[in-house]
Chain A
């Protein structure tokens, strides 16, 4: 489409016409492949589409316009921190010196990148109150696995082989228990206390000689600071276990709480949440890990080192034999880390504290607006941090309209829905995270929309349950998609399926 016309697009494969495209690469000499035995060569050319550049560009520009994005509107997705992605960062990561650097180039040829990474290690250690940082993990979940594998290596280094369990509160991100399983541990799920916080007594009774680690998200996935975190950390350490902090909610505590100082042994942070690196439609992220003294020897390789002469280098193979090893290839997702570095330097200490202050103020303001109106239940009334849970349980009871419907109706108002049905502990919950980069006008407009939809649920429920009405597509048939998966284009598929509008 452009401004008018059909919005949905044919697939790349439907756009293909034989002999279109080309002109990018010189033709190779005829005998280019004469050194390759015939049985190693492919029989037919791969069935890739043949399209000329203008069609490819229109395809992707038109497809892009079917997406909601931070650059198009408010994205209050709880636990995801969809803040603005500064454009300077995109520019910086594309500087030829950064973008062209080969990860196996000799250290002396990549001093600029190594210096940046070394400085970033230090900045992140300061922000988290940790002793040392590894930039290697490719995402938060990989940071979690890194942390739990380090904890495993720590216990093993002490010949402590009985520890087989990881304790996780029931409000945790799904990645926490999944990580524990990947590291060979059994997950023990601990119910939350009535105020939404960790139930320290329940933890105490579950802690013991079998406990390897406790994984805590602080502030919790309900957006609440764990007031009893000090007691809990003491109990964890008394039991000989170590404490992992899921840093997904770091945006709420910059300059206010340093997990390392408080006694956490290890944490990951998500640069794509807290430090503004873009989410990319699902990735990439980066999940650096910070550790205290106990776990420093086990950090993955390689770290970036500054030698006495002021030059920078990667740790060499075998230099730190206690390391758990490598989590992925090369030093890390450097292109993402360049963006995070730019963000951190743009803010400095004061700016980072302001980020947190404004994010928390915005969340409390939005929560207050909904609480004052009263259409939605606010299960936890105390001050929240950067996000809060609202519930449509009352609306559902009164009108039959569910949280899912309200979320879909928000789309018609021009907003991305918040995270819904997470954490699993709140009935008809929605987790709202406004971030610090949304204006007061936007916050008010969003609150107005939610309230209007709540009224609409009473007066015209069908409009809400049928939403969205203005998006490129209506609600989807997810059941058929799962029952008869169609996961790739085949020439026949197009004929069986209805054409795009």
Chain B
């Protein structure tokens, strides 16, 4: 065993103390009929060989692509200070701070995280973390039901499709979830249809607990959050904003437009994409909802000698105390990722965060210009921050063709939103502060070539050769 300290002599000494001759004797309580068949696993691998195996696997992923893919997970510059702090064993090998006297580091860092996110969201109560943006959104929706004693939640179809699928799973235990359609045409196309929202809210027999909209929404567009919040409140419902934290460096915070709860994905705050996680579920709410929020909360207090200190508090909401009456079953959370977000925000600072968001917006506008010049069209007219959809003939094929040229041309929207007719042949593309003008030019050139009028079959047949000849390196 690679990490165990026991020598054969140690084992013998322990067995002798127990009056045993074999460790097998400690397993005699497992009924014979139920003992395991032998483990059919590969042999142990020494560290040197295992490291080579892992490097080879990592090397099979393509790391050479000029990527314009966002859709909920964004590439950003994470100052090396963030990961170097995270690599301190005192942080990452500690457990949940149940013993506050020897956990003040973790506890103060969570209190600071709560404070930083309170500033960003404009909401006073921030949970210590949830699994990811999808699970946080589901918990937010469940909160609205508990707080209003109602069981019907409306969610915009412009909320991330995977978040909506997660909501549906969490609601399958007996709560009702309905989707709000999007405006089909005109200046507001692609944003949530407020007239439909009003109609859904007006059904007096089926009162609504919560209304969930994303800002920016999944299509990158800015939603009329203040109006939606007002409509929700008029019907006695709570309003949930699904937000992206870097955008809050420049966009109005949820607290300012009347959101009762903010949920979101904290990955953009210094956390690498790492194929799906671990990420950071952000969950924040107004003070009156504090007893409804699930997950750990850390508060400030004093010790016996009057020194300022921090401790987990309002624990009566949690599963280990309340068991079947708890606000949620959450136990393990994403503390280390909350730490990453805090270090990121501390190093980047308020002006840096604004620059990250604004530079991303500027790059996205350059991208828009370049793609339009190359023959694509924006799919919607509404304002966007750093992500938008473009209409491209044979979008799926073009996406493949560009991949062969080393460009990851965003997301083929009909792959994830097959039911939205308006989104056939559209690509969702994004830019951030790390997107370079050279990458934008590479995308535009490749797109122009792909759209140059050759019929799709010829494009596909020629793709291999073209790909091999292109400057895009293969992984």
Contact = CB atoms under 8 A, between A and B. Distances in A.
Interface residues of A, number: 211
B114 interface: yes
A129 interface: yes
Interface of A: prevailing SS? loop
Given A22-B351, A178-B322, A60 B85 contact: yes
B135 A328 contact: yes
A468 B47 CA distance: 40
Nearest to A35: B383
A500 B307 contact: yes
A391 interface: no
B362 A90 contact: no
A82 B62 contact: no
A113 B275 contact: yes
Contacts of A471: 101-102
Interface stretch (A237-245, A392-400, A435-443, A451-459): A435-443
6 contacts: A20-B349, A25-B77, A60-B91, A141-B330, A178-B324, A284-B337
B433 interface: yes
Contacts, number: 708
Complex A-B, nearest 6 residue pairs according to Cβ-Cβ distance, in ascending order: A71-B89, A280-B336, A112-B60, A97-B58, A330-B276, A184-B173
Interface in B1-59: 1-6, 10-11, 13-15, 17-18, 23, 25-31, 33-45, 47, 50-51, 53-59
B23 A360 contact: yes
B2 A351 contact: yes
Interface stretch (B120-128, B203-211, B441-449): B120-128
A177 B324 CA distance: 4
B42 A345 contact: yes
Interface in A61-100: 61, 63-72, 75, 77, 80, 82-86, 88, 90-100
A141 B329 contact: yes
Interface string A48-64: 11110100110111011
A294 interface: no
Interface residues of B, number: 201
A112 B81 contact: no
A139 interface: yes
Interface stretch (B178-186, B230-238, B293-301): B293-301
Interface string B116-136: 101110001110110111110
Given A138-B135, A149-B173, A475-B304, 15 more contacts: A21-B352, A69-B94, A105-B275, A112-B56, A141-B319, A141-B331, A230-B34, A329-B72, A329-B265, A330-B275, A346-B50, A349-B43, A368-B17, A485-B299, A498-B306
A183 B173 contact: yes
A103 B305 contact: no
A230 B331 contact: no
Given A50-B350, A333-B276, A349-B39, A281 B94 contact: yes
Interface centre among B133, B345, B384 (most CB of A within 10 A): B345
Contact of A126 (B40, B290, B359, B399): B40
A455 B256 CA distance: 59
A126 B324 contact: no
Contact of A281 (B50, B96, B131): B96
B39 A255 contact: yes
A101 B44 contact: no
A473 B307 contact: yes
B97 A282 contact: yes
A280 B96 CA distance: 8
A351 B56 CA distance: 23
Interface centre among A8, A182, A270, A365 (most CB of B within 10 A): A182
Contacts of A11: 108, 111-112, 115
Interface in B109-159: 109-112, 114-116, 118-120, 124-126, 128-129, 131-135
A436 B4 contact: yes
B253 interface: yes
Contacts of A225: 27, 29-30
A402 interface: no
B273 interface: yes
Given A282-B335, A283-B129, A261 B36 contact: yes
B17 A40 contact: no
A383 interface: yes
B373 interface: no
A175 B329 contact: yes
Nearest to A153: B172
A488 interface: yes
B92 A281 contact: yes
Contacts of B286: none
Interface string A269-297: 01010001011111111110000000000
